[in-house]
Structure 1
């Protein structure tokens, strides 16, 4: 790191590790949040020093928050700034937000829904997890949004490392009834739902669909994914200079 001039880093700043991601990108670990902030503030000079075609991808600390009033507009920067002001979060730390379920799928009388808040600041995300937050006048609570196994929207396979665009299946499989048609075209009632994955595995497949979070195969794939993710065992996002985040 540069140690002289205007770009001088915090005293003792250093990289303590690096993790190669499945996407091929490299996650760099620094000794403190102050060092990480210095890198972000001087990212153009840092990338120039690396040379080549290196690019910086912002990491977001995503928190799944429950029972937010539906009056909340996650796409509005002004609304997100209001959340920062109401909760004394650093300005600009709430970089993005989105509803877990599309608003058009809500029932007419629905007043609250679940959303994801994407923070650039781990400490702010941890505050929501620990203390909750005020959004649209309501106090809401949440937890870390953990990576889950991907389900192909074409064949309904879970954790198969492909999506619908790259699926090699000949035709669509319905996520509601396990028959050979698009899920959007399904007309079966909730009582007649069937799971394509459990059916293929010769398990009890009636009573739930492939998208059901209580599906035994989904639960097994999720548990496997969590066991391979060391950070999943911590309730908070890890911050080097905050021992409270290590519990």
Structure 2
């Protein structure tokens, strides 16, 4: 746990073959008497942690100032004191934050990746070919 109030965590499992991976996705995994859900690891679009825009990472960002992923103001996201305000730098909307997966720009970027990598859109791994 990172914090005492942490309720969720994520783990990445690597399987030796697609049949095993698909079985985990379909049936889940039992750990400490708890059934855990599994999902396929998909390619996700890259969003900059500095300017909150798509297609590059903070190390390559040309923005002069940080943009908060929550409120959109010019400060680092981890120092935001205005958690009740939401602003998305990608679509310039005040209805959600930049990190929101329901952002229409984020959705478009995910669809673009799915078109580029068709296997990305499939719920299971292909069992044909090399693993």
TM-score for both structures, normalised by structure 2: 0.85
In terms of fraction of residues, the more helix-rich structure is 1
2:107 paired with 1:219: yes
In terms of fraction of residues, the more strand-rich structure is 1
Shift of 1:184: 1.5
| Closer/same/farther in 2, CA of residues 135 and 176 from structure 1, 3 Å limit | same
2:22 paired with 1:130: no
Number of the residue aligned with 2:79? 185
Q: How does 1:25-104 map to 2 (within 5 A)?
A: 103-104=1-2
* Partner residue of 1:195 out of 80, 88, 93: 88
**Gap runs ≥5 in structure 2:** none
Greater relative CO, 1 or 2 (CA 8 Å, sep 6+)? 2
2:45 paired with 1:164: no
- How many positions carry a matched residue from both structures? 129
Shift of 1:185: 1.6
Shift of 1:140: 2.1
Computed over aligned residues only, the root mean square deviation of the Cα atoms, in angstroms, reads 2.0
In 1, Cα distance between equivalents of 2:65 and 2:81 = 18
TM-score for both structures, normalised by structure 1: 0.48
* Partner residue of 1:121 out of 14, 17, 28: 17
Number of the residue aligned with 1:63? none
Contact kept? 2:66, 2:75, Cα under 8 Å: yes
Which has the larger Rg?
Answer: 1
In 2, Cα distance between equivalents of 1:114 and 1:127 = 18
1:26-48: CA deviation from partner (whole Å, max 9, x where unpaired): xxxxxxxxxxxxxxxxxxxxxxx
